Amino acid sequence: MPSPAPVLVLAPAAAPPPASLPDNDDLLREILVRLPPLPSSLPRAALVCRRWRGLVSDPTFLRRFRRHHRTPPVLGYFFSDPRGPVFTPTLAPPDSIPPARFSLPPPEPQQPAGGGGDRLFFLGCRHGLALLINRRRLEAVVWDPVTGRQVTVPYPPEFTADNGAHCCRGTVLSGGDDDGGGDRSMRPFRVILIRTHLNDDCRMTVIMCVYESAAAKWGETISTAVPSHVDNLPSVLIGKNTLCGFLHWPDGILELDLERHSLAAVETPESLRCVDSSFSFRVVRTQQDGELGVAILSERSRIQLWARKKEKKAISSCSSDDVVVVRWVLQKTVQLDKLLFSPPRTTYRMMDSFSARILAFEEDSNQIQISVSTQMYTD
């Protein structure tokens, strides 16, 4: 009887070496970078021990922390007051910023006796910088509320006519993420100022000028004609180089292209032309594609969100050339009285007094801030 064939037994394959665990500091960074992006998060982590303090204060970690969270929280708003702008926090403790922490910088000690004061007028804020103007000295003041740094920029010569009385709007943009530029005490920035001039034909000329801190000088002025009756309007940054807003009239708003250095009028939706108050609409940036949009609040406590769409259409079937067609599209309608107010289950009846106002549009978080008020009576 033949002997059985030998059985070949294979040894199990060696398991791959286990992945090396991250360094303790690397693991800790992965945890810390996921802390909520609130003002108190990193300072409280820094109080744990010296090691944690070193990690959360490292510039590389801070840049990664900002990239990870992308959208910072809204800390609060500046409201106009007879004594000057006042900061109002929106976060709850311990993240609430005391108003005194973001108080206006004191005027420089150059005012002669009886000079009438150096009140600073708040024009707006963007990218962590605020823009104010000193109408007595004809100066723009760029202020970093967090660091307290400020840079004073004299008006361009074209804006000093009539003692600067017609300089009506402006805004500020960051010119980069790192320090440098013409003024080494603050990161690069750009200032945009607008003035108006009423012509003999009852049309109004809008003049705009841009200051670049990296070059430490104003650029060439640009202008366009608009109807004589205009109102102030906050501007919104569309993309990286287009600002829309500043001024509005019944059927249009301004558009500034910083890259092309051009100023133009943009026609607004038909439904906006019957809106009277500037509290009833705002220029916004659409959430889907980041294009120009308009939020309109109707008398029926209904807010409509419109978006400006650009489409290419062929001129004819025999031509390969396209023409760009611009049209406004209604994207969303929100009934505010149903969304924000629920009547109690009693005999209360609503008077015709539900009112709402659009206070602001926050670019970083893409939020529209609305104020509402109601009154009720009983049978």
Q: If you write DSSP's letter for every residue of 209-228 in order, what string do you get?
A: EEEETTTTEE---EEEEE-S
- What is the pLDDT, as a whole number, of residue 20? 57
User: Between 153 and 302, whose confidence is greater?
Assistant: 153
Map residue 307 onto helix, strand or coil: strand
Q: Specify whether 325 is located in the same domain as 260.
A: no
Lowest mean pLDDT among 65-69, 170-174, 314-318, 354-358: 314-318
272 in a structural domain: no
253 in a structural domain: yes
For the CA atoms of 208, 214, 217, 223, what is the dihedral angle to 10 degrees?
-20
- What is the pLDDT, as a whole number, of residue 248? 82
Q: Specify whether 322 is located in the same domain as 346.
A: yes
130 in a structural domain: yes
84 in a structural domain: no
* β-pairing verdict for 217-218 and 204-212: antiparallel
- What is the pLDDT, as a whole number, of residue 316? 62
Please name the helix (run of DSSP H) or strand (run of DSSP E) that holds residue 338, with its range, or none. Answer: helix 336-340
- What is the pLDDT, as a whole number, of residue 267? 86
Q: pLDDT of 226-270, one tens digit each?
A: 876 778 888 899 988 899 988 888 788 899 999 999 998 888 887
Q: Specify whether 257 is located in the same domain as 302.
A: no
Question: What's phi and psi for 337, nearest 5 deg?
Answer: -65, -30
Q: Specify whether 365 is located in the same domain as 283.
A: yes
Average confidence (pLDDT) over 307-336: 77
Residue 300 predicted with pLDDT over 80: no
- What is the pLDDT, as a whole number, of residue 304? 87
Q: pLDDT of 167-188, one tens digit each?
A: 778 999 988 654 444 444 678 9
Q: Which residues lie below 8 Å from residue 148, measured CB to CB, with a gap of 6+? A: 105
Q: Specify whether 244 is located in the same domain as 290.
A: no
Q: Specify whether 315 is located in the same domain as 346.
A: yes
Q: Specify whether 143 is located in the same domain as 238.
A: yes
Question: What's phi and psi for 338, nearest 5 deg?
Answer: -80, -30
Map residue 11 onto helix, strand or coil: coil
182 in a structural domain: yes
User: Between 185 and 325, whose confidence is greater?
Assistant: 325
Domain termination residue (choose one: 241, 267, 293): 267
Residue 325 predicted with pLDDT over 70: yes
The band of 112, judged by pLDDT with boundaries at 50, 70 and 90, is: very low
Q: How many CA atoms lie within 13 A of 301 on its CB side?
A: 16
Residue 79 predicted with pLDDT over 70: yes
CA torsion through residues 71, 72, 76, 78, sign: negative
pLDDT above 70 covers a percentage of the chain that reads 75
- What is the pLDDT, as a whole number, of residue 274? 66
Domain termination residue (choose one: 267, 297, 321): 267
Q: Specify whether 246 is located in the same domain as 165.
A: yes
Q: What one-letter code names the amino acid at 113?
A: A
- What is the pLDDT, as a whole number, of residue 378? 47
CB 144 within 8 A of CB 129: yes
Report how far residue 172's alpha carbon sits from residue 177's, in angstroms, rounded to the nearest whole number.
14
36 in a structural domain: no
Q: pLDDT of 188-237, one tens digit each?
A: 999 999 988 877 777 788 999 999 999 999 999 999 888 767 788 888 99
> Mean pLDDT over all residues of the chain?
80
Report how far residue 110's alpha carbon sits from residue 105's, in angstroms, rounded to the nearest whole number.
14
Q: pLDDT of 2-43, one tens digit each?
A: 666 665 555 666 667 766 545 688 889 999 999 999 999 999
150: domain range? 118-267
Residue 346 predicted with pLDDT over 80: no
368 in a structural domain: yes
CA dist 117 → 100, 114, 134, 220 (Å) = 21, 8, 10, 31
Q: pLDDT of 268-281, one tens digit each?
A: 887 776 666 667 88
Q: Specify whether 344 is located in the same domain as 245.
A: no
Q: Specify whether 135 is located in the same domain as 263.
A: yes
Residue 68 predicted with pLDDT over 90: yes
Q: Number of structural domains, the chain?
A: 3
Q: Specify whether 233 is located in the same domain as 356.
A: no
246 in a structural domain: yes
Q: Specify whether 291 is located in the same domain as 162.
A: no
